[in-house]
Structure 1
């Protein structure tokens, strides 16, 4: 059995379509079908149920894909380990990030990483929380910057920072007139209309849990895929929203809401996540070390300046 046949079957299973799989594999569809038929004959089992409109895995096919993926992953890990042994200063790292987090964290970390490891190639992948977790679990990224909790059980993580959460309200909102620094209890927001991120975004789940923890389901006025749009809608008087401290707008940065502290000073935990049991290349280890150093230093500096 040739190694490339494992990759063929994995791609067909992923695409559920011979034409798309053939295109991704850069081979002709008839050749792909012929190779699969030859493999099935060699194995003595059907791997796929074919019909006019669909291609579905059989039970044997599911077992085959699971084992084949492990072999492909192990081969890739072996290749990376050999590259690291051959030249510790070279490599490639694929970093996943949420749009909201990437905008504020990666511009601090990537320049420091490049300065220390100029020969390591960096590729960025930006997706929603749900998509990024699945991608990281399947090996599509080496590491990803995410926020807790993680849904995907195949992932493990290292915390990198705790970030405060604030309440964003329109400037004319009753809560905007509170004495500076006076916190708001989430329970007080029961009758308010909320602007939330769309489904699949991790921070949406954080917002929902905060409301449900206070005993109510939030009334959702608007949803957006972008935290900046959320803040603009709040500033325009269309609702209120929870926001991470790092994305707050300063006066003079366009339409800005008012930010009010929350009782209990809730936080979210940002983590660097990767698949359990996966070999971490030297490049990935170096990136994790860099993000700890840079973000940790930025947090210490922020605390120090606040104390003055």
Structure 2
């Protein structure tokens, strides 16, 4: 069987046409290169090079063989580069899921960073609620998914990795009546993005209409909140642009006895080795959530 190392030595010698220069490029001694080419010629049963005082030149059989060998060497080097990039999480494909709320807050920024840093890594992302992401994880169609804690059913063991926390926010339009803190008997509709139980703060319980409207699309939720008196229960991190543009505002409420934050988790199958790309993405998500917390 032909040795790729010998073929690489052969292609370098063919390009340099001189044993001394080729040996220097390869980082080996000239006698070692000479022995390698002699061994290869013996293995093939024909001469690859004609030798003279000025150096070496390919024989007709040698030229045909080197042309084919160069393709093999180039493919092998490309495969090696591909493996290195895959090991570092910069090549290949990563398929994962993310729930709408963390997707709105994190996905544009983290994917911008990843595409600029690793343009050869293909990101295949599914944005759905946990009810749809869970079967995709179990069947192996996605490597992991990211969502708020407390939505995963009791099922096969999963690896749960905390990424950080999002604040629980009660979002309204900029000039919502509740922002004035004036006394009112008005009741307002509630918007949520999934069917999880919602614990309203005591100071909002008597001012809202139940049950809430469940709408999975965050663009629609943002538009409804900006154009009606509805109260959207989500996280300020997911609407940072709308808040910066003063389209939406956050109600100052008493959270007790409800929770004050969402823990954002990465869920993957317990016995499945995580890819380098997944580990890199986990680190980037963790850092981004930390940055959002520092800016808040």
TM range, smaller chain: 0.5 to 0.7
Which residue does the alignment assign to 2:264?
A: 270
Question: Aligned ranges for residues 58-69 of structure 1 at < 5 Å?
Answer: none
Q: 2:168 is matched with which residue: 165, 170, 190? A: 165
CA shift digits 1:262-283 (9 cap, x unpaired): 3247111112221222121222
C-alpha RMSD of the superposition? 3.6
1:283 matches 2:271: no
CA shift digits 1:118-143 (9 cap, x unpaired): 43222111222210122122211112
Contact 2:236 2:250 in 1 (8 A): no
For 2:278 and 2:190, locate their aligned partners in 1 and report how far apart those are by CA, in whole Å: 36
Distance 1:145 1:212, change over 3 A: same
Q: 1:250 is matched with which residue: 243, 246, 249? A: 243
Distance 1:118 1:269, change over 3 A: same
Tell me how many residue pairs correspond in the alignment.
Answer: 204
TM-score, normalised on structure 1? 0.55
Distance 1:106 1:209, change over 3 A: same
Question: Aligned ranges for residues 1-308 of structure 1 at < 5 Å?
Answer: 88-89=87-88, 90-152=91-153, 153-154=155-156, 155-170=158-173, 173-178=176-181, 192-197=187-192, 201=194, 204-205=195-196, 208-211=197-200, 219-220=210-211, 222-248=213-239, 249-250=242-243, 252=245, 256-264=247-255, 266-300=260-294, 302=295
CA shift digits 1:7-53 (9 cap, x unpaired): xxxxxxxxxxxxxxxxxxxxxxxxxxxxxxxxxxxxxxxxxxxxxxx
Q: If you compute each CA radius of gyration, which structure gives the higher value, 1 or 2? A: 2
Task: Flag structure 2 segments of 5+ consecutive residues without an equivalent.
Answer: 1-81
Contact 1:93 1:283 in 2 (8 A): yes
TM-score, normalised on structure 2? 0.56
Contact 1:98 1:145 in 2 (8 A): yes
